[in-house]
Amino acid sequence: MLLLEERIRRDGKVFPGNILKVDSFLNHQIDVRLLEQIGEEFYRLFSADRIDKILTIEASGIGIACIAAQRFGVPVVFAKKTQTKNIAADVYTARVESFTHGKVYDVIVSKEFLHAGERILIIDDFLAKGQALLGLIRLVRSAGAEPVGAGIVIEKGFQDGGDLVRQTGIHLESLAIVESMDDDGTIRFRH
């Protein structure tokens, strides 16, 4: 998505450890007009997949998922992150190891909001090593629902998450795939 790539080039900031900060339009301040176009693009890419519900993860995924969901006309459920300890019986859960944040956490969704047979589109802001997305895929499957697609705003193509998720056979679409980031701030995209 050219508009998104241009925005990342203009406003994205490269930090040590291969971290791309997009706080000025996606992760802190939010450019709602841009999100509208992102939602439209996800609709174009996934409308044939007959989506019943969009699943995302708090916090940054929520705004993106909501604007996309408006276009699809489906509800959004966001998985909550919780410290690994007493997990209630009425939730689906998956354990996620975050390399970016250097910790392990559980993601949970109430059994009330995810049902067997539902066709789920998972949406998130970043795909890096893929652990968050793979956790959500496991969680959807544990509910007997079907993870039919995954829509990512920014994939870091030089990390292995994209390959791991594509190996699951899920319809994965990343709107911008960063091929490389240099210390001087130069960002290259894969096409």
Q: What are 18's two structure tokens?
A: 């291969």
129 interacts with ligand 5GP by CB under 6 A: yes
Backbone angles phi, psi at 88, to 5 degrees: -70, 160
Considering only 9, 13, 27, 113, the residue that binds ligand 5GP (CB under 6 A) is 27
Residues in 46-75 that interact with ligand 5GP by CB under 6 A: 60
Are 128 and 161 in contact by the 8 Å Cβ rule? The answer is: yes
126 near ligand 5GP, judged by CB under 6 A: yes
Q: How many residues bind ligand 5GP (CB under 6 A)?
A: 20
Residue 106 binds to ligand 5GP (criterion: CB under 6 A):
no
Residue 51 or 132 having the CB closest to ligand 5GP: 132
Tell me what percent of the chain is helix, strand and coil, each rounded to the nearest 5.
35, 35, 30
Q: Is 25 in the site for ligand 5GP (CB under 6 A)?
A: no
- Segment interacting with ligand 5GP (CB under 6 A) among 82-90, 102-110, 122-130, 169-177: 122-130
Among 161, 174, 175, 176, binds ligand 5GP (CB under 6 A): 161
Q: Does 174 bind ligand 5GP (CB under 6 A)?
A: no
Residue 81 touches ligand 5GP, criterion: CB under 6 A: no
100 binds ligand 5GP (CB under 6 A): yes
Q: Note every long-range contact of 57-66, with CB atoms under 8 Å and residues 24 or more positions apart, other chains counting.
A: 57/81, 57/107, 57/124, 57/132, 57/136, 60/26, 60/27, 60/124, 60/125, 60/126, 61/123, 61/124, 61/125, 63/30, 63/35, 64/26, 64/35, 64/38, 64/39, 64/123, 64/124, 64/125, 64/153, 65/123
Instruction: List interacting residues with ligand 5GP (CB under 6 A).
Output: 19-21, 27, 60, 98-100, 124-133, 156, 161
